[in-house]
Amino acid sequence: MSFNMLFNLYDSDLEPIDRWETRKARVAEYIQWAHPDVIGSQELQSDQFDDLCALIGEEYASYGVGANDGKRAGDIPAVFYRKDRLQLIKAQTFYFSETPEVISKNPFGGKNTLTVCHFRDKQTDHEFLILNTHLAFGNIERRFYEACKLRDFLLNKKNQLPLLITGDFNTFPFRQELDLPFYDGDKIVRIIENGCVFDSFKCASFGHFGPISSTNFCLEKKKPFCSEGEPGIILDHIFVSNGIQVLSHGIDAARVDGHFPSDHFPVIVDVIIQ
C-alpha cells in the first residue's frame, strides 16, 4: 500500500472532522481493516508518526526519519510493516542530492529523501526491497531533478533484489481541459520507468479496481475531502521491478464512519514476489 496520510501543518484550514486529532483514528481503523503487509506513507510529521505507531504498533513495526535532519524534523516517509509477516534486514535513507548518503540539500535548497527497506518474507523466505518517497509538489524543475535522481538510483543499485516503489509522485497529467496546477506528470512517470521499473497500474494481470483518481480534491469547490476526485488524476503510484508479478491494482475510496481518512486514497497492489 502507498498512502499519503496528509500532514497536520495546515489543519486550521480544514473542517474539524478532517483535522488530524479527529481523523487519526480513522487512518488506524482503515489500516487495520485493509491489513496490508507493508505501507509506504507520505507527509507524516513526527507527532503524527508517534500517534500512528501508538495506534497500530501492536501489529506493525516501522522505519522512517525526518527529511530535514535525519531524525525527527520534517516529513517522515515512513514504511510500516507487519511484524508477523516481514523481517526488516536493513533500512537506509538517501537524499535526492549530489551527496545522497549524507543529510544534504538539493540544488533548489530543499531536502527530500528516499526510504529504502530490505525485507525477508517469513512465509516464503523471499527477499525484496521497498522504496518509498514523495516527490516535490510546487517546483516542476525540482520534481524533474528528483525523478532523475530516483531513476539513477535504480540504474546504479548493485543489489538486484525485486523491488517495489511506493510514493506520492505528484504526477499531474497533461490534461489541459482541467484546471490543474501542473502538467508534467506523464513525463515524470516515463523518467521513473526508465529506471527499469513498471507502473503497477498498467501491468496488473486482473486490472484495476476503484476510482481513476488518488485524491478526493474537488476542482469545482477547490477543497479536499469532498469527492472521489477527477478521473485520470493519479498522483500516487506503486512501481515494480522484474521479479514482481502484479495481480491487481486498486485505489480505495473507502470511508470510515462516513468520512475519508485522508485527502489521498490508498493505492493497493496484490503481488507475487518471484
Strand partners, 243: none
Longest dimension (CA), the chain: 49
The structure's pTM equals 0.97
- Domain 2-273 homologous superfamily, CATH: Endonuclease/exonuclease/phosphatase (3.60.10.10)
Which one-letter amino acid corresponds to residue 17?
A: I
Q: Is 170 left (phi over 0), alpha (psi -120 to 50) or beta?
A: left
Alpha-carbon dihedral sign for residues 64, 70, 75, 77: negative
Ordered by start, the domain boundaries in the chain are: 2-273
Splitting the chain (274 residues) into consecutive groups of 10 residues, what average pLDDT does each group show?
98 98 98 98 98 98 97 97 98 98 97 98 98 97 98 89 98 95 98 98 98 95 94 97 97 97 98 95
Q: Give Cβ neighbours of residue 199 (< 8 Å, ≥ 6 apart).
A: 189, 193, 237, 238, 239
**pLDDT tens, residue by residue, 193-215:** 999 999 999 999 999 999 999 99
